[in-house]
């Protein structure tokens, strides 16, 4: 018996098949090979086509099947992980009405700030655990205000993963976790927030049916099953945002456990058993995958928009013909501190941890007689690691003090320079695992379908492959403080 996991990322769709008995990935595929375009027709805007996501999902599954490493007919359930905070809108015939306004789009910042003032800061923070900010509800309010013709046609709104599940099953559902990441959930009243609905003048009817996260969200349609070589009627049994799902994939389920990822964006995600919030909303709190009315486990999330996106920009600009592996080796040739070169990696929209300010990415201190490509790529990786330290210090202010952080050996954590710099500058050990988002989504499907009796049972074969401990913290501390001074000046 197998489980299928779909990870709807910003750059591509990744899929994996996991064997139930061993809990190991038997095959994986990604589509497309090149990174998916982010449409930015205006400064600060970021959109993608949901129909492109659906096409890429189908192609990724067919590519996975073509490996011949498993029988697709033996897949028993499907799980979905997805890029968070995006807005998808459809009419009553499930037709997409516009491109998705995705997570790193900044257009709704001002709308969210006005709502924060209107609802009241203390009331919003205590009930929503966040300011309305630049999240899904505010993006929907932007559509209502600026595209009233489209808004009038909306039958249902969705997060990106809800949309893929709809295409697979024909059913539209959501979960408390999804609603919380869209800032639609009132944690105090344990219901959809009337404050947000009323503030933005929205209709309750556009919110989909709310299901448990680990549960059936519909069954695979016969025509789609035939197209994808799968068995009709198998359930989509799990949907979660990429960061709660990444935590699940790393077996970060209990209060005090912490996960990190450094993909297109960078995230530190810690589980709490209390309804905590940052008074400045620099870090955000959402319902974790294990959240319930009885166990209110939340995920405290630090997000940095400009991490992998910064590294991708540097690659395309300075060494487009090189692979990321080659660039990681190149970065390893430069000394700690990159001979004084500094990078602020904040060029992918307003940063919540910087109070929704947008500094732009900056490459500072270039010496034309000294610096070369190895310095540039090391400085980029160090700048990203420094941004994690800056954010982790905010989390520490809010009571999150990890002794160890778990991460998948993927994306920037494939780089020895980045991984060791992250450990050195934060002062926290990192445990690396093989699991990624698509594998986590597959295991989540097994939990939701009842194939695993508990979440803990799904990770009985979960093993750390490497532990990194601080080696150069004393050398990095003054370098980080110099970087931090540059950032503070850029924020003034």
Q: Distance (Å, rounded) from C-alpha 9 to C-alpha 104? A: 13
Instruction: Summarize the confidence of residues 151-177 as an average pLDDT.
Output: 98
Please give the pLDDT value at position 77: 98
Q: Cβ neighbours of residue 430 under 8 Å, at least 6 residues apart?
A: 260, 404, 405, 406, 407, 413, 419, 422, 423, 467, 468
Please give the pLDDT value at position 210: 97
pLDDT category at 435 given cuts 50, 70, 90 is confident
Q: What DSSP character marks residue 15? A: E
Q: What DSSP character marks residue 357? A: B
Q: Cβ neighbours of residue 489 under 8 Å, at least 6 residues apart?
A: none
Extended strands (E) in 204-312: 209-210, 236-241, 258-262, 266-272, 284-287, 298-304
The larger pLDDT score, comparing residue 468 to residue 43, is at 468
The per-residue pLDDT for range 186-202, each reduced to its tens digit, is 999 999 999 999 999 99
Please give the pLDDT value at position 434: 87
Q: Is 17 helix (H, G, I), strand (E, B) or coil?
A: strand
The per-residue pLDDT for range 278-328, each reduced to its tens digit, is 999 899 999 999 998 888 999 999 999 989 999 999 999 999 999 999 999
Please give the pLDDT value at position 236: 98
Please give the pLDDT value at position 481: 98
Instruction: Summarize the confidence of residues 148-160 as an average pLDDT.
Output: 98
Q: Is the dihedral of CA 8, 236, 64, 240 positive or negative?
A: positive
The per-residue pLDDT for range 418-434, each reduced to its tens digit, is 999 999 999 999 999 98
Whether the predicted pLDDT of 150 surpasses 90: yes
Please give the pLDDT value at position 167: 98
Whether the predicted pLDDT of 356 surpasses 90: no
The tokens for 135 are 């999240």
The per-residue pLDDT for range 201-228, each reduced to its tens digit, is 999 999 999 999 999 999 999 999 999 9
pLDDT category at 359 given cuts 50, 70, 90 is very high
Whether the predicted pLDDT of 352 surpasses 90: no
Whether the predicted pLDDT of 349 surpasses 90: no
Instruction: Summarize the confidence of residues 9-38 as an average pLDDT.
Output: 95
Listing DSSP states for 159-223 in one string gives -HHHHHHHHHHS--EE-HHHHHHTT-EETTTTEE-HHHHHHHT--GGGSPEE--SBS---B--HH
Instruction: Summarize the confidence of residues 25-41 as an average pLDDT.
Output: 94
Instruction: Summarize the confidence of residues 175-196 as an average pLDDT.
Output: 97
Whether the predicted pLDDT of 350 surpasses 90: no
pLDDT category at 251 given cuts 50, 70, 90 is very high
Q: Are 379 and 344 in contact (CB under 8 A)?
A: no
- Around Cβ 76, how many Cβ atoms within 10 Å? 17
Whether the predicted pLDDT of 462 surpasses 90: no
Q: What is the mean pLDDT of the chain?
A: 96
Please give the pLDDT value at position 436: 85
pLDDT category at 239 given cuts 50, 70, 90 is very high
Q: Distance (Å, rounded) from C-alpha 475 to C-alpha 483? A: 13
């Amino acid at each position: 018996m197998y489980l299928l996991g779909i990870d709807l990322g910003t750059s591509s769709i990744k899929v994996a098949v996991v064997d139930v008995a061993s809990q190991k990935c038997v095959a994986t595929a990604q589509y497309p090979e090149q990174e998916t375009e982010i449409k930015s027709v205006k400064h600060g805007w970021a959109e993608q086509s949901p129909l492109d996501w659906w096409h890429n999902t189908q192609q990724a599954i067919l590519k996975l099947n073509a490996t011949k490493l498993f029988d697709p007919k033996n897949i028993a359930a499907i799980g979905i992980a997805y890029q968070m905070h995006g807005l998808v809108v459809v009419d009553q015939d499930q037709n997409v009405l516009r491109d998705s306004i995705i997570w790193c789009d900044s257009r709704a910042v001002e709308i969210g700030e006005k709502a924060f003032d209107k609802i009241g800061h203390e009331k919003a923070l205590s009930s929503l655990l966040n300011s309305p900010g630049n999240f899904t509800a505010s993006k929907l309010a932007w559509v209502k205000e600026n595209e009233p013709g489209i808004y009038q046609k909306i039958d249902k709104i969705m997060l990106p993963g809800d949309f893929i599940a709809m295409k697979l099953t024909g059913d539209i559902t959501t979960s408390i976790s999804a609603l919380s990441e869209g800032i639609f959930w009132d944690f105090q009243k344990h219901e959809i927030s009337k404050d947000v609905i009323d503030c933005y003048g929205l209709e309750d009817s556009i919110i989909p049916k709310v299901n448990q996260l680990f549960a059936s969200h519909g069954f695979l349609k016969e025509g789609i099953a035939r197209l994808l070589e799968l068995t009709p009627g198998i359930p989509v049994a799990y949907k979660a945002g990429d960061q709660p799902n990444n935590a699940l994939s790393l077996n970060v389920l209990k209060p005090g456990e912490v996960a990190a990822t450094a993909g297109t964006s960078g995230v530190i995600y810690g589980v709490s058993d209390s309804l905590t919030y940052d008074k400045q909303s620099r870090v955000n709190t959402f319902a974790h995958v294990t959240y319930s009315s009885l166990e209110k486990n939340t995920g405290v999330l630090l997000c940095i928009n400009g991490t992998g996106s910064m590294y991708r920009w540097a690659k395309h600009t300075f060494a487009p013909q090189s692979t990321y592996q080659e660039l990681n080796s190149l970065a390893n040739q430069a000394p700690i501190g990159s001979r004084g070169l500094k990078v602020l990696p904040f060029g992918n929209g307003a940063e919540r941890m910087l109070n929704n300010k947008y500094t732009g990415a900056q490459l500072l201190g270039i010496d034309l007689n000294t610096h070369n490509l190895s310095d540039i790529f090391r400085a980029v990786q160090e700048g990203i690691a420094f941004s994690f330290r800056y954010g982790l210090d905010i989390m520490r202010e809010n009571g999150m003090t990890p002794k160890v952080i778990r991460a998948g050996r993927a994306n920037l954590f494939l780089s020895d320079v980045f991984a060791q710099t992250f450990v050195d500058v934060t002062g926290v050990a990192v445990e690396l695992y093989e699991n990624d988002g698509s594998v986590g989504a597959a295991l989540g499907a097994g939990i939701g379908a009842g194939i695993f009796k508990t979440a803990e049972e799904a990770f009985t074969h979960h093993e750390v492959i490497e532990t990194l401990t601080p080696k150069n913290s004393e050398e990095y501390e003054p370098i980080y403080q110099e970087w931090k001074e540059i950032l503070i000046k850029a924020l003034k």
